[in-house]
Amino acid sequence: MKKLNICIDIDGTITDSYYWLAFCNDHFGTCLSEDDVTSHSMHEVLGIDEAEFMDFYERNKLKFHSNQTVREDAGFAVRELSRQHNIYFVTARDAGLTMFTHAFLRKNEIPYDRLFVLGTPNKVQKAADLDCDVFIEDNYENALQLSEAGYPVILIDACYNRKPLNDNITRVWNWDEASEIIARLSEENKAM
């Protein structure tokens, strides 16, 4: 059986999609709920200038990401997938968070073959470099770019990504559904 090369985003994909909301509400004096998060761009959701948000983020990025929790079903699903497939985490996080991200994954017992902290949301080239068979993502724009480049995308549902999908993107509401799709892809690969 050929192992699949599974590329997985981190923030909002294996972690809770709204982990940052309480921290930002507290800092900016807002009282936004998950339903208010209709954009992946946090500055838009908060109604502030992007430069102001980036300044806040740069000063608080370790604290910002320290509050993250792993989605209830993600840890188990990734552990199971890693037994049969290659797991590559591909994140847009700032490259300065590389060691922090390794530590986060180890602390939460999430196995992986390699971690790529890109510092940019542009993931198509890394998917090509890794010969990606399927990409698991939560960012709508990333999902579109990846799917248009020919990569099947599993989109983890969130309020901010509920927009029309193309035929190469499948929306899922949990990691059990994502695992089922990957099992089907694996079976299709066996038949080839």
pLDDT in tens, 110-135: 999 999 999 999 999 999 999 999 99
What local confidence, expressed as pLDDT, does residue 188 receive?
83
What local confidence, expressed as pLDDT, does residue 2 receive?
78
By mean pLDDT, which of 24-38, 79-93, 146-160 is the weakest?
A: 24-38
CA–CA distances in Å: residue 96 to residues 62, 66, 119, 120: 10, 14, 8, 12
Judging by DSSP bridges, how do beta strands 134-137 and 5-8 pair with one another? Answer: parallel
Question: CA triplet 148, 20, 31: central angle to 5 degrees?
Answer: 115
> Which amino acid belongs to residue 6?
I
Helix axes 50-66, 98-107, angle to 10 degrees: 40
Q: Is the pLDDT of residue 6 over 70?
A: yes
Domains of the chain, earliest start first: 5-16+72-191 (3.40.50.1000), 21-66 (no CATH)
60-93 pLDDT tens trace: 988 888 888 999 899 999 999 999 999 999 999 9
Q: Is the pLDDT of residue 190 over 90?
A: no
Residue holding tokens 């921290």? 23
Q: Is the pLDDT of residue 189 over 90?
A: no
**Using CA atoms, how far apart are residues 47 and 81, in angstroms rounded to an integer?**
39
CA–CA distances in Å: residue 74 to residues 38, 64, 71, 103, 105: 23, 20, 5, 17, 12
pLDDT, mean over the chain:
93
**Using CA atoms, how far apart are residues 128 and 125, in angstroms rounded to an integer?**
5
What local confidence, expressed as pLDDT, does residue 72 receive?
85
**Using CA atoms, how far apart are residues 46 and 129, in angstroms rounded to an integer?**
35
What local confidence, expressed as pLDDT, does residue 1 receive?
57
